[in-house]
Amino acid sequence: MVSAAARVPGAAGVVVSADAAPPMSCGRSLSVGDLLLLLVAGFGAGLSGSMAGLASLFSYPALLAVGLPPTTANMTNTVALIASTVGSVAGSRPELAGQGHRVRTMAPLAVGGGALGAALLFLTPAGGFEKVVPFLVGGASVVLLLQPRIRAAATRSEDGPSRRSRFLVLAGIGLVGVYGGYFGAAAGVLILALLLIGLPVSLLQANGLKNVLLGLANGTAAIAFAFLGDVRWAAVAPLAAGVLVGAWLGPAIARRLPGTLLRVVIALAGIGLAVKLGLDAF
């Protein structure tokens, strides 16, 4: 019998034992089919990341499908998604105007959180990470479903956010930074909700600030993974290329789609993915 800690998802979502190591862990080169899968998944990740903050719900399963173990897939995914951060921050410059003081206040929290999240991933047993992932993905997807209610709560007070809520948003940024460095699926949605509830900012301003903070948390973790972790660079290249194109086109496509429909479809897909990963892990 295969122990829970030794189980990893195979290419088709089938659980295999650690003795039968995934193809890429043995050094096998990516096939043309693998490259195309990662390119397409990266494109989907870029689109969903720029429109809904759920890039990892496309890119992470694709990395599992080409044979990467869960922890390796997460590290590789974090590095590849830097491509999304570059485009989103560059496109958010108008919304970031006048928010330098907020960036300076929150940036250390995001960087520190990302570093701590990366450290936790290094210290967490591979089997333990596999069992945590379904809950992270499922929780992030539920947050996306509830996003309109969270935003509405931010506008109910005529006096605006209180000092207490601003303190809570600072603490929350640090915690979400840890989550972003550890796994990060829908971390952008969580940060956006925090900013809208705790700060007197518009949705566009919050989104621009979110892009910077999430980029800092993910970027910090990516540096640690690149130098100290197990990153499969052969998978980073096609995934990042797709992410860059998807993130570039995402905002234009989002303007032409019903926002509610798009949000619900992505959230339900995330819940379905969480169920599948949970079945594989347990």
Predicted local confidence at residue 218, as pLDDT: 92
Task: State the DSSP code for 159.
Answer: T
Query: Residue 4 — pLDDT band, cuts 50, 70, 90?
Result: very low
Are the C-beta atoms of 113 and 180 separated by less than 8 Å?
yes
pLDDT tens readout for residues 160-193: 556 777 888 899 999 999 988 988 777 887 887 7
Read off the pLDDT band of 131 (50, 70, 90). confident
CA 1 to each of CA 5, 11, 19, 125: distance values in angstroms, whole numbers, following the listed order = 12, 20, 12, 19
pLDDT band at 143, cuts 50/70/90? confident
Q: Distance (Å, rounded) from C-alpha 225 to C-alpha 178?
A: 14
Using the Cα atoms of residue 153, residue 156, residue 157 and residue 158 in order, give the sign of their dihedral: positive
Q: Is there a contact between 13 and 280 (Cβ–Cβ < 8 Å)?
A: yes
Q: Rounded to whole angstroms, what are the CA distances from 39 to 43, 87, 207?
A: 6, 17, 26
User: What is the three-class DSSP state of 21?
Assistant: coil
Q: Does 159 score more than 60 pLDDT? A: no
Q: What is the pTM of this model?
A: 0.76
Beta bridge partners of 17: 7
pLDDT tens-digit readout, 7-27: 333 333 333 333 334 445 445
